[in-house]
């Protein structure tokens, strides 16, 4: 199959973003017991089907499914408070930034929104947890806030 007709062409440069987004969600939501294993397995099956797709229409449909999976992952990431420590120890900022060049308008929009939230306006402070009035929280304060929220949800 020629490179221009490769069904993975649209996703090739962005596939690694899935792992980074999944890892960040699992790191930041560890106390909630969130596991992305089932999502990873389903996504792997979609990628395998895409690799084997010979019909262009089928390949485009599978790419659209991957677009939706990434959009859902970005929506989940947007709900999980990402700390500066996670950004410093992962490649999350880079891969989400790269998604701003994705073919899907929805993915570009979500990635742009996440990057803006992480930059915190002009301060360019990465995804730091913020208090009720926008002030930066320490890691301890932020953890207490997340822990309190999880206790409220489970109780």
Span 142-153, pLDDT tens digits: 444 444 333 333
**What mean pLDDT is predicted for residues 34-62?**
91
The verdict on residue 53 lying in a domain is yes
At residue 68, does pLDDT exceed 70? yes
40 lies in some domain: yes
Q: What's the confidence (pLDDT) of residue 11? A: 86
pLDDT for residue 4: 47
Q: Is 141 part of any domain?
A: no
Query: 134 in a domain, yes or no?
Result: no
Give the structural domain span for 9.
3-128
Asked, for residue 144, whether it belongs to a domain, the answer is no
Is residue 139 pLDDT above 80, yes or no? Answer: no
d(CA 52, CA 48): 6
Q: Is residue 135 in a domain?
A: no
Number of domains in the chain: 1
- Is 147 part of any domain? no
- Look at residue 5 in the predicted model and tell me its pLDDT: 63
Q: Which residue has the higher pLDDT, 37 or 152?
A: 37
């Amino acid at each position: 199959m020629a490179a221009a007709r490769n069904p993975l062409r649209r996703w090739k440069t962005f596939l690694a973003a899935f792992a980074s987004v999944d890892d960040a969600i699992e790191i930041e939501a560890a106390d909630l017991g969130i596991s992305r294993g089932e999502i990873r397995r389903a996504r792997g099956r979609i990628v395998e089907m895409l690799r084997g797709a010979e019909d262009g229409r089928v390949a485009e449909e599978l790419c659209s499914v991957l677009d939706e999976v990434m959009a859902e992952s970005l929506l989940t990431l947007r709900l999980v408070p990402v700390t500066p420590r996670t950004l410093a120890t992962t490649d999350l900022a880079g891969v989400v930034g790269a998604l701003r060049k994705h073919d899907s308008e929805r993915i570009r929009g979500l990635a742009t929104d996440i990057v803006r939230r992480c930059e915190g306006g002009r301060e360019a402070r990465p995804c730091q947890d913020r208090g009720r009035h926008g002030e930066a929280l320490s890691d301890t304060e932020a953890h207490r806030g997340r822990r309190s929220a999880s206790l409220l949800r489970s109780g």
